[in-house]
Structure 1
Amino acid sequence: MQKKIYTKSWLDNDTFAAWTFLTPALILLGIFVIWPIAYLFYLSFTAGSFTSSGIYWIGLKNYWRLLLTPDFWQVLGNTAYFTVATVIPSLAISLGLAVLLDRSLALRGILRSAYFLPSIISLVAAGLGFRWLFQNTGPVNALLDVFGITPIFWLGDTFWAMPVLIILSIWKQLGFNMVVFLAGLQAIPASRYEAAELDGANAWQQFWHVTLPGLQPTLIFATVTTAIFTLRSFEQVYVITGGGPLNSTNLLVYYIYQEAFAQFDFGYAAAAATVLLAFTLVLVYFQLRTWGEE
């Protein structure tokens, strides 16, 4: 009787098979993510432009310029203020809306769609809408006038211009975070609430000791994504204020754009972009460590 001979297939080697299937994704990751980051880091140590004169190595001078430029520090302060004032309310309000919608079975689908709608609207279109709303003769000032309040020069005042950008960013991110929190709430077992209720816990105690611990992975995800969305904000500034008045609404991404594509100072812009990348990575790292994520 003739024996069957089985040859070992290359698919039997799990490691080789894994690398084979991962290679296309790793190539794309290297071309479109790792290489641009590496080139950005290299560019931050150079000066010149992409012309016949080319670029040349200058070492740490671009980073030294950042440290000595008052506008850069003002932009950093603007970005920090904008980020904190956007992330915290957008998380708190969306979590409150999610808790309310989780208890409203009848209108959950309609309200979820209504709140999520701003997330799919173009930021440029939304920015133009907010610019119209908050212009000197716009609907917001008209409403203030009805209540006898003096109209505010929203987009031309160094104090009030930034809140307009913050309101737009919160409104834009609210629906996405709400849907994320709603999914997290529905994943918490109802038995936990029943046990807490039997132990005599009121609504606030149930929220604090059952809802928040159960939402910890969701909170981490929502915080990180909202922070990244806020730090990369560009369209709001470009469409509504242009960084003014007096540089009061200039954010780091818009500052990088100005230096790179208005001043053609690519090395200096690359240094600022490297600082933004490092700041984002550090922020995400501390967020994960704070919430105890491994």
Structure 2
Amino acid sequence: MTDKTPNRQLLDNDTLAAWIFLTPALLFLGVFIIWPIAYLFYLSFTTGSFTSAGIRLIGIRNYQRLIFSPDFWQVLFNTAYFTIFTVIPSLIIPLGLATLLNRSFALRDFLRTAYFIPSITSLVAVGLGWRWMFQNSGPVNALLTALKLPAIDWLSSTTWAMPVLILLSFWKQIGFNLVVFLAGLQTIPQNRYEAAELDGANPWQQFWHITLPGLRPTLIFATVTTAIFTLRSFEQVYVITNGGPLNSTNLLVYYIYEEAFGLFDFGYAAAGATILLFFTLILVYLQLKVWGESE
């Protein structure tokens, strides 16, 4: 009995110390993450606004409105289209650039810095510059005219407005993914490439059989973070197109913003935000699952 008492006392002291150190993090998690998510879920079952008499519970009517709303389905289609065509080039092109910039040559450090700069610039400032470049009298149309090509009404076209946003988002994301892939390449032992060269493997075979398998965890991380970045895209839509023309560039986050702060329909907006949260959680779950399998 006397032998167990000191151990129990030590365990109690360790537990108390653990709770003391965990308390600030748990408070932060509860106040800024768990409580907002719980309140968001509650709001999705209500109607009314904070500017009127108040809010009241209405059950699942907001979700029914979403399901039967043609505008919401168009926004989902826009978001999926925007996400797919942003994520794919935002992975392939930085991966190729990282493979090239992982070698030693004269301008390597300069190019690394040049590609990374867009990722740390303000998206609002970049969006304003992008809107100026693609307006009817902007530099892009001036270049087309100089090349004897017809000018395009970029931001007023249901065909071309979305590609402008995709190009901006890809340009903004390329530097971050480049750094992530460069870091991943540093973890692959160089002797694998040396052994492959001795076996007669060409650069493409080395890339396919050594680089890609070695970068699998990095690829999973980059895919999920890029997808989340595109799913929460708001600034470029707000600054450049305002969701137009004809709702063709309206993305889910901007749609939620309009419903909440334009129409003050917080319950309906909360239902849309809950669906966005659901999609994000699916991405995180897939990342953990695939990452666990790769380990």
The TM-score normalised by the length of structure 2 is 0.93
What's the secondary structure of 1:103's corresponding residue?
coil
- 2:58 corresponds to which residue? 58
Q: Is the 8 A contact 1:44 1:269 kept in 2?
A: yes
Q: Is the 8 A contact 1:220 1:287 kept in 2?
A: yes
The TM-score normalised by the length of structure 1 is 0.94
| Change in 2 beyond 3 A, CA 1:261/1:52 | closer
- 2:19 corresponds to which residue? 19
RMSD: 1.8
- 1:286 corresponds to which residue? 286
1:41-56 alignment to 2 at 5 Å? 41-51=41-51, 53-56=53-56
Aligned-pair CA distance for 1:217: 1.4
What's the secondary structure of 1:56's corresponding residue?
strand
- 1:197 corresponds to which residue? 197
1:1-294 alignment to 2 at 5 Å? 13-51=13-51, 53-290=53-290, 292-293=293-294
1:102-152 CA-to-partner distances (Å, cap 9, x unmatched) read 113432221111111011110000000100111111111111112211111
Moved over 4 A (4+): 6-13
Which runs of no fewer than 5 residues in structure 2 stay unpaired? 1-5
Which runs of no fewer than 5 residues in structure 1 stay unpaired? 1-5
Aligned-pair CA distance for 1:15: 3.6
Query: Which segment drifts farther, 22-31 or 251-260?
Result: 22-31
User: What CA distance in whole angstroms lies between the structure 2 residues aligned with 1:139 and 1:290?
Assistant: 44
What's the secondary structure of 1:47's corresponding residue?
strand
Query: Which segment drifts farther, 101-110 or 246-255?
Result: 101-110
Q: Percent identity between the aligned chains?
A: 75
How many residues get paired? 289
Aligned-pair CA distance for 1:16: 3.4
User: What CA distance in whole angstroms lies between the structure 2 residues aligned with 1:185 and 1:269?
Assistant: 42
Q: What amino acid is the match of 1:143?
A: L
Q: Is the 8 A contact 2:216 2:294 kept in 1?
A: no
User: What CA distance in whole angstroms lies between the structure 2 residues aligned with 1:8 and 1:285?
Assistant: 38
Aligned-pair CA distance for 1:241: 0.2
1:207-253 CA-to-partner distances (Å, cap 9, x unmatched) read 01100111111111111111111100000000000000000000000
Aligned-pair CA distance for 1:13: 4.2
- 2:3 corresponds to which residue? none
Q: Is the 8 A contact 1:10 1:17 kept in 2?
A: no
